[in-house]
Structure 1
């Protein structure tokens, strides 16, 4: 056996993660911190600039797949968390 791909764990900016978490809390939304192995653009940028990702729940937990489905209210909640986080960052 030989390794053909290695993608080390990328830690996102702790302050931004906290800002996003606080946005969810402030909106009264359920939230959890997760580790994702999805290859987001953010993984590449995290080495250069403060970076974090907001995930929203998908039906049956399926993500990054043509079967991925999200309810409009879940998309709205994710967008509202983003707005709350941006507001916190720009007022600091």
Structure 2
């Protein structure tokens, strides 16, 4: 096993539990963008994935807040993975 510490740009929906990521871009329609803005999420913010479900979406930590994001919206948010991810050979 080894740690891959390269910064990868992926969709938030592809992040797994325990990962930390920085929001790079949000490819959202106006309604979704307003909703995400009201939640306090903006490009440059760092989040941690607390729960990841391929069916329902993500629960993330953003500062002291815990936010649930549906799968469709999570697919529209591009992030850079910050924390090392464990990979097997």
TM-score normalised by the chain length of structure 2: 0.28
RCO higher in structure (CA 8 A, sep ≥6):
2
Higher strand share: 2
TM-score normalised by the chain length of structure 1: 0.28
